[in-house]
Amino acid sequence: MFGLKYQNQRSPSVISDLPILKNLGLILAVGASLLLPTHSIDAKTSRIKDIINIEGVRDNQLVGYGLIVGLNGTGDSLNNSPFTKQSLIAMLERLGINIRGENVNTGNIAAVIVTATLPPFTNQGSKIDVSVSALGDAKSLQGGTLLVTPLIAADGDVYAVAQGEVNIAGFSIEGDAASVTQNIPTAGRIPNGGIVEREIDFKLEDLQQIRLSLKNPDFTTSRRIAQAINGFTNAQLARAENSASVILRRPSNYDGTIVDLITDIEQLPVQPDQPARVVISESSGVIVMGANVRVSSVAIAQGSLTLKVNEAPEVSQANPFADQGETVIVPRTDISANIGEDVKLAVLNSGVTLQDLVTGLNKLGVKPRDIITILQAIKAAGALQAEIEVM
């Protein structure tokens, strides 16, 4: 008899206020204290089914090579795409038409790569979406129809066959002196264009145990999943194997299959945990922070020295009717420097979060790339209690 014993956990939260500075040149003094003022908030939980994958239950990628016909002169140039010409000749020979040695010149056909994803447990005869992408120098696939194309998996076997009219989300218009192209007219999709011909041989219901793979590996989350399952079933059915896997065993006295057991436990709430991490994209200036990122005691000075040099040479001439003298150019240089004399001092509360720090920098008008430099400098000083991942 299964009984629910799992209880949601509660975790502390830290909120600190950051004074707003009024000058881009700034000094931030971040107080250091690990005893942070806290108050309880509702724990953020997720269902087990949303944070794990079941080993063996996976998609399979399919790929094929095919021909699209019916293009309005926007297909491959047969002289520049020999594979298209060879495929056309081979296709016509299978249909009883021999054109070998003939001069073939048509722009209404294009060679394409066809891709599709075969979901797990897809039955024979089911339909799947397929994508097509031009392989040669075709200008557009608009109005084309894909001919029967076998789709193979990594093992070399055919698992689906694709055919149908191609839908594209772009267009291309070309004239003598100008052209207009929107989106990608050389790629498209065929909704329900693939028919599954072979099923993946995988009998999940016959297994006595399965492995739950965490989407975001973490030792704490792995252990919490095992505890939630064992607490719900009142039996030691789950065991955290490592940070990425939990072993789930079907008990001998359980009336249902392993599928029934998965259905029973996948709705259980678990509070996921993750290491403190800051993800930075140098190219786009995007900063993504985890909830547990903290800043220790550190003083930050961010300012700029601006030098302005103006060159205004003057011409000096001798007085009229002077006995001697010559015209010369006299240099005149004006140098000014701005060293940020209005720098202010702000004090942050102890245990400030990185979110509060970045919020304050944003209010100052500090640009994202400057914030990225500041965060990297804080990490180099050992004051950022998180991992920085640069994309």
Q: What is the mean pLDDT of residues 159-164?
A: 96
14, 36 Cβ separation under 8 angstroms: yes
Dihedral of CA 183/59/134/73: which sign? Answer: negative
Nearest CA to 214 among 246, 239, 259? 246
Q: Tell me, what's the pLDDT at 323? A: 64
Q: Tell me, what's the pLDDT at 304? A: 53
Q: Tell me, what's the pLDDT at 386? A: 82
Q: What are phi and psi of 238, to 5 degrees?
A: -115, 145
pLDDT digits (tens, 9 = 90+) for 26-67: 333 333 333 333 333 345 889 999 999 998 898 999 999 999
> CB atoms < 10 A from the CB of 230, how many?
17
Q: Tell me, what's the pLDDT at 4? A: 38
Q: Tell me, what's the pLDDT at 280? A: 82
pTM for the structure as a whole: 0.65
pLDDT digits (tens, 9 = 90+) for 177-230: 566 666 788 999 999 999 999 988 888 888 889 999 999 999 999 999 999 999
Q: Helices (DSSP H) in 234-290: which residue ranges?
A: 258-265
Q: Tell me, what's the pLDDT at 202? A: 86
Pairwise CA distance, residues 77 & 113, whole Å: 17
User: Per the structure block, which two tokens stand in for 151?
Assistant: 């789709």
pLDDT digits (tens, 9 = 90+) for 70-123: 998 889 998 888 899 899 989 998 888 888 877 778 889 999 999 999 999 999
47, 269 Cβ separation under 8 angstroms: yes
268, 246 Cβ separation under 8 angstroms: no
